[in-house]
Amino acid sequence: MKKTIVILSLIAGFTLNVHSEKKPDYKNPKLPVEKRVENLISLMTLEEKVLQLQSQLTFLNQYKDRNWEVGHFRNIAHFLHNGPNGPTSTIDCAKAVNEDTRKSIEANRLGIPVLQHGEALHDAMWGVATCFPQSISMAATFDDEFYYRVGEAIAKETHAVGVRQVYAPVINISRDPRWGRTEESYGEDVFLTSRMGVAYTKAFEKEGVIASPKHYVDNYGDGGHDSFASGMSWRILREVFLEPFRACIEEGGARSIMASYNSIDGIPASASAVLLNDILRKEWNFKGYVVSDYGCIPGIYNAHKVVQSHPEAQALCFEAGLDIGLGFGESSSYSHLLELVKSGRISEEAVDVSLRRVLTAKFELGLFDNPYVNPKEADKIVHSKEHKELVLEAARKVMTLLKNNNNALPLSDKAVKRIGVFGPAANVLSVGDYSGPSGGLTGEFITNGITPYLGLKQRLQAKAEVILHPGNTDAAALARTCDVAIFFAAIQEGEGEDRSHLALPKRTMKAAESLEHAQIVDTGGKQTFEMDQERIIDEISGSGTKTIVVLLNGSTIDIRNWADKVDAILEAWYPGERGGTAIAETLFGDVNPGGRLPITCATNREHTKRQSCYYLS
């Protein structure tokens, strides 16, 4: 009898021990997401909740300061933060993200995984990812079904290395070509922007990467000044500038939105309850979460000057419906949120509302159950054969013919035996802002990138001589010895580089060292270009040789001074890594230039006065 009692006691003790070690509901993948979320929230401390609404960005030399407990991180292996000493292969990139994720999970008491995020405007935004044509370039195709395929490829490459949220697409309506970020947009038309934005958003969400259409809303002011106050009426905002966001949410399934820096009617967009709650959540039934643009929250205090302190700025944004603060420094990422709750300014219930949105996304992405990626599988996906073929097809589709006098194009293999190549973009791969090469060029990217000069040489082989004008000799003299002269024009534009005029600049970028505009891929990165482009066009067009101008740009160029002097003009936009190949094929008639203009070609600055609306007859 005593033995029986002892045995029963042991069994009971074992049962209690097993029960006490039972995993909490949030770790059970068989339970509904809603139940897992509520269980996890019930187990979290206030400090842990607040950390999930914070984010961090570090450059490689700052990685030692990484806070492993924040809920969101812009990984050093991604975007601009690797530099020459960062990961230079797909496998290394995936391993770096995995390692960061592992350390983050281990640092959290409850094992909450970090959400790795980055950019993906027109590529997966790191050195060896496939670099597709810029957004404005793809808009010239007017083909949202094809663009869905492009978005799908970029999303696959993004997911493959462990990045699960991207701050794309840019669906701001560009009505002033002086705005430096016009290249990131889909142009001036609401319908086209909506269709392209929806296609891109759908592609990412399908591939398990959260899309975050941006910048909500407008994002630039009079004169094309980036992030300036918007003077738009609410009617125009709703009918024009808000419409693409509605479409991306209701049709594209976007699970996140990025708020903009600018103000609307005097109220910062990132602190506007009308935008973030009334319209976004109540009218459009948006269930996802809103993130700030980087450094946006301290701008409420520093730039907008509508509050008297950083804590007050954070309170204003949070109360308006901004769930996550993205930033560079201590005061950028809801660093005062904990003290705001403890002081009673913000309730813990309000924190739970935002937290619920964030955790729901993490569970839906499968981060709690499978937070890591397979580096070897990633290596098969990134820059795959299919993606290489697709990026060339995309480059071919964006080519847009602006002028073709007396059938100057296509060029004839039989008639053309000597080609003079001129201009600052001739031997530069102009890929546009927010591009993978910005993160530090690697040997693999140099191998895959094709400049216009290299594209012509590869297309013609021994059939014709292709001569690159060095830029410091008589252009007309070289042109007179050639059967055709081709000038490759460039402009300086991008984030923080709004334009004061639309003419070709006389002094262009120092291409090899530019972080966000263009990269040398054929000359070792030592070349600089300083030339009066219009003067050289005049010289070669006056030589008597057939003259063709190819534009590599993301916005309107004033061509009045020289358009009548040249025989043909081809708009190549920023055509991606195989742009040189597509340009050569188009010039020689292998490809039909079927692109169309997504923006109006204003001829001068006086024609760019900001329009409240376009009434087209």
- Residues 359 and 427 grouped into a single domain: no
Contacts (Cβ under 8 Å, ≥6 apart) of 509: 424, 490, 492, 517, 518, 529
Mark whether 323 and 399 lie in a shared domain. no
> What's the rounded Cα separation, in Å, for the pair 422 and 482?
12
In a domain, 559, yes or no: yes
Say if residues 429 and 451 touch (Cβ distance below 8 Å): yes
The C-alpha angle 289, 291, 293, rounded to 5 degrees, equals 160
**363 part of a folded domain:** yes
Residue 591: pLDDT over 90: yes
Asked if residue 100 and residue 232 are part of one domain, the reply reads: yes
What is the pLDDT at residue 603? 63
Share of the chain above pLDDT 90, in %: 67
CA atoms within 13 A on the CB side of 532: 11
Q: Sorting pLDDT into bands at 50, 70 and 90, what band is 81?
A: very low
Strands 428-430, 400-404: pairing kind: unpaired
Q: Which of 302-306, 444-448, 461-465 has the lowest mean pLDDT?
A: 444-448
Residue ending a domain, among 348, 379, 410, is 379
Contacts of 187 (CB under 8 A, 6+ apart): 136, 139, 173, 174, 193, 597, 598, 599
Phi, psi of 437 (to 5 degrees): -60, -20
Q: pLDDT for 518-530, tens place per residue?
A: 333 333 333 345 6
Q: Cβ distance 546 to 484 under 8 Å?
A: yes
Specify whether 397 is located in the same domain as 366: no
Whether the Cβ atoms of residue 293 and residue 259 lie closer than 8 Å to each other: yes
Which residues lie across from 56 on neighbouring strands?
Answer: 73
| In the predicted structure, residue 404 carries a pLDDT above the cut 60 | yes
Q: Please tell me the predicted confidence (pLDDT) of residue 300.
A: 92
pLDDT of 589 over the 50 cut = yes
Same domain, yes or no, for 375 and 424? no
Q: What is the pLDDT of residue 505?
A: 80
What the block records as the tokens of 120 is: 């993906």
- Is residue 144 located within the same domain as residue 100? yes
User: Which of 240-244, 494-498, 528-532 holds the top average pLDDT?
Assistant: 240-244
Nearest in space to 50 (alpha carbons), one of 58, 41, 37: 41
Which of the four pLDDT bands, split at 50, 70 and 90, describes residue 128? confident
Indicate if 263 and 343 belong to the same structural domain: yes
Domain containing 111 — which CATH number?
3.20.20.300
Q: What is the CATH number of the domain that holds 472?
A: 3.40.50.1700
Q: Give residue-wise pLDDT tens across range 241-296.
A: 999 999 999 999 999 999 999 989 889 999 999 999 999 999 999 999 999 999 89
In 3-state terms, what secondary structure has residue 27? helix
Residues 568, 497, single domain; the answer is: yes
- The residue behind tokens 């409240």 is 612
pLDDT value of residue 58 = 74
Q: Among 212-216, 488-492, 510-514, 519-523, name the most confident range.
A: 212-216
152 assigned to some structural domain: yes
Same domain, 233 and 344: yes
Q: What residue type is 528 in one-letter code? A: T
Beta strands 210-211 and 165-166: pairing type?
parallel
Whether 95 has a pLDDT exceeding 70, the answer reads yes
Task: Write down the pLDDT at residue 609.
Answer: 53
Quick: pLDDT tens for 318-335. Answer: 999 999 999 875 556 899
How far is it, in rounded angstroms, from Cα 111 to Cα 68? 11
Per-residue pLDDT band for 57 (boundaries 50, 70, 90) equals confident
DSSP state of 285: -
The DSSP code sequence of 467-530 is EE--SSS-HHHHHHTSSEEEEEEE---STT---S--SPPSS---GGG-SSSEEESSSTT-----
Any domain includes 17: no
Q: What is the pLDDT of residues 215-232, one digit of tens each?
A: 999 876 565 555 556 778
What are 536's two structure tokens? Answer: 């050289």
In the chain, what is the straight-line distance between the N-terminal and C-terminal CA atoms, in Å? Answer: 100
- Domain presence at residue 269: yes
615 pLDDT exceeds 70? no
User: Is the model's pLDDT at 16 over the cut of 60?
Assistant: no
Q: Is 324 helix (H, G, I), strand (E, B) or coil?
A: strand
Residue 381 and residue 20: Cα distance in Å, rounded?
43
Dihedral angle sign, alpha carbons of residues 74, 79, 81, 87: positive
Instruction: Indicate the burial class of 303 (C-beta count within 10 angstroms; 0-12, 13-18, 19 or more).
Output: middle
Range of the domain at 490: 387-607
Task: Decide if 528 is inside a domain.
Answer: yes
Residue 103 lies in a domain: yes
pLDDT at residue 61 in the model? 66
State mean pLDDT over 53-75. Answer: 82
H/E run at residue 268:
strand 267-268
Q: How far apart are CA 216 and CA 171, in angstroms?
A: 9
310-320 and 348-364 are packed helices; what angle lies between their axes, rounded to 10 degrees?
A: 60
Q: Identify the domain boundary among 333, 358, 379.
A: 379
Across the range 192-197, mean pLDDT stands at 98
Residue 457 tokens, joined: 């040489």
> Which span out of 83-87, 352-356, 503-507 was modeled with the highest average pLDDT?
352-356
Residue 305: predicted pLDDT? 92
> Has residue 616 been placed in a domain?
no
For residues 336 and 242, what is the distance between their CA atoms, to the nearest angstrom?
31
- Longest Cα–Cα distance of the chain, Å, equals 116
Q: Are residues 47 and 177 in the same domain?
A: yes
pLDDT tens for 550-578 read 999 999 988 999 999 999 999 999 999 99
Report the C-alpha gap between 90 and 157 in whole angstroms.
9
For residue 72, the surrounding DSSP H or E stretch is strand 72-74
Three-state secondary-structure class, residue 220: strand
Q: In this structure, are 409 and 431 located in the same domain? A: yes
Q: What is the number of structural domains in the chain? A: 2
Which tokens belong to 150? 């492009």
HEC-encoded secondary structure of 535-577: HHHHHHHCCCCEEEEEEECCCCCCCCCCHHHCCEEEECCCCCC
pLDDT at position 523, please?
Answer: 31
| Average pLDDT of the chain, as a whole number | 86
184 plus 282 within the same structural domain? yes
- Which of 314, 344, 379 is the C-terminal boundary of a domain? 379
Token duo for residue 321: 């419906």
